[in-house]
């Protein structure tokens, strides 16, 4: 079991590194190609890669699936499409935001979804937000202000778009938490990706294609293949597998490394250097994310221990 957990943690770490590497790549690609045309190409490649895996899994489980199971899967179709549209909106806001802000800042602002999820759960699902979440929100809010506010206290347009992306990602996570128990995570991921491909293609056909698309360069094609196969198909599949063998605390810690890897690749590939104020903001966001996630997990584990101890029989001497 320990061996499997180590492999699962390393797999998720690889996913985080891949995600961090995509910010600079996508920013370069959308300088040459329209945003929704690029996203449509990316998710079409991911959908095509998912198709044979999806069909193989369907055939393997087809003999054991009963009629009730089939009805349950059909009922999840509409919610899965809605979740795919929300996730597609997050990618759209993030990608457009990259036209106006830097990859490193995009990584850290997107990472705020880690804190927005428990906030959303408290507001809409009436789940109590504990002290670690409140502390994390305060630290992350100060960090976001240091990272994104201009000297006149206005927020940069690109940073604002990426913040909307973080809200959309948090909404998608909450929706998945609501509907995931009714369907396999792999099936849910496949429907989401196919939905994003179709939605982005329709938007591109309406608003971008009539003006004419530039020639498809090797740079754009490489970015679409890399983000489609590795950052989407591989990442979603690896997540679905690895999360069965590792702990929630490990997952939370690994996912907070995404903005760090984004900043690292941004420095290595394009030489982006953040100001001291921005670095302090990034550090506060990261500490806030860790406080909210790991603090909440620690409190939950502590409550379980207390309940367990209280349930133990008292032995008389």
The span from the CA of 121 to the CA of 116, in Å, is 8
- On the question of pLDDT at 22 being above 90, the answer is yes
Closest CA relative to residue 194, chosen from 86, 81, 95? 81
Q: Model confidence over 32-68: pLDDT tens digits?
A: 999 999 999 999 999 999 888 777 777 776 555 544 4
Contact between 282 and 274 (Cβ < 8 Å): yes
Strand, coil or helix: 155: strand
- Burial per residue of 115-134, b for 16 or more beta-carbon CB atoms within 10 angstroms, e otherwise: bbbbbbbbeeeeeebbebbb
Domain ranges of the chain: 2-60+72-209+216-308
Q: Model confidence over 276-308: pLDDT tens digits?
A: 988 999 999 988 888 877 776 676 666 666 544
- The most confident of the ranges 110-119, 200-209, 291-300 is 200-209
Q: 């806001």: which residue's tokens? A: 93
The span from the CA of 237 to the CA of 68, in Å, is 26
- On the question of pLDDT at 274 being above 70, the answer is yes
DSSP 55-81: HHHHHHHHTT--HHHHHHHHHTHHHHH
Contact between 299 and 130 (Cβ < 8 Å): yes
Strand partners, 155: 149
Model pTM score = 0.86
pLDDT at 79: 86
CA distances (Å), 259 to each of 10, 18, 112, in order?
17, 11, 10
- On the question of pLDDT at 118 being above 90, the answer is no
**In the chain, which residue ranges form alpha helices assigned H by DSSP?**
2-29, 35-62, 67-75, 77-97, 103-110, 113-124, 131-148, 157-179, 185-207, 218-225, 235-242, 248-255, 258-270, 276-311
Contact between 95 and 35 (Cβ < 8 Å): yes
The span from the CA of 233 to the CA of 227, in Å, is 9
The span from the CA of 93 to the CA of 165, in Å, is 5
Which whole number is the average pLDDT over 150-170?
88
Closest CA relative to residue 255, chosen from 4, 20, 7, 5? 20
Length of the chain: 317
Is the pLDDT higher at 71 or at 80? 80
Average pLDDT over the chain, rounded to an integer: 84
Q: Model confidence over 225-261: pLDDT tens digits?
A: 999 999 999 988 888 788 778 766 677 778 888 899 9
Is the pLDDT higher at 185 or at 31? 31
Q: Model confidence over 171-185: pLDDT tens digits?
A: 988 888 777 666 777
Which whole number is the average pLDDT over 91-100?
96
pLDDT at 62: 59
- On the question of pLDDT at 158 being above 60, the answer is yes
pLDDT at 310: 43
């Amino acid at each position: 079991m320990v061996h499997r957990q180590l492999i699962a943690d390393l797999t998720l770490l690889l996913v985080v590194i891949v995600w961090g590497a995509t910010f600079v790549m996508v920013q370069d690609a959308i300088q040459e190609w329209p945003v929704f045309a690029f996203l449509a190409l990316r998710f079409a490649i991911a959908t095509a890669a998912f198709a044979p895996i999806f069909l193989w899994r369907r055939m393997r489980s087809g003999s054991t699936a009963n009629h009730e199971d089939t009805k349950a899967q059909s009922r999840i179709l509409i919610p899965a499409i809605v979740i795919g549209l929300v996730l597609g909106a997050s990618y759209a806001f993030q990608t457009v935001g990259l036209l106006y802000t830097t990859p490193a800042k995009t990584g850290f602002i997107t990472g705020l979804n880690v804190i927005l999820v428990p906030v959303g759960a408290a507001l809409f699902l009436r789940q109590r937000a504990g002290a670690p979440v409140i502390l994390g929100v305060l630290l992350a809010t100060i960090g976001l202000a240091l990272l994104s506010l201009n000297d006149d206290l206005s927020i940069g347009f690109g940073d604002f778009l990426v913040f909307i992306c973080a809200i959309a990602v948090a909404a998608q996570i909450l929706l998945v938490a609501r509907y995931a128990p009714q369907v396999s995570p792999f099936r849910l991921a496949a429907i989401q990706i196919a939905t994003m491909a179709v939605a982005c293609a329709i938007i591109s056909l309406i608003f971008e294609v009539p003006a004419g698309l530039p020639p498809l360069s090797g740079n754009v094609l490489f970015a679409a293949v890399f983000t489609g196969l590795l950052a989407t198909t591989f990442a979603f599949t690896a997540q679905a597998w690895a999360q069965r063998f590792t702990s929630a605390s490990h997952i939370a810690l690994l996912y907070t490394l995404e903005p760090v890897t984004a900043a690292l690749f941004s420095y290595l590939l394009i030489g982006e250097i953040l100001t001291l104020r921005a670095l302090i903001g990034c550090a506060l966001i990261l500490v806030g994310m860790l406080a909210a996630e790991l603090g909440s997990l620690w409190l939950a584990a502590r409550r379980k221990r207390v309940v367990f101890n209280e349930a133990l029989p008292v032995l008389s001497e």
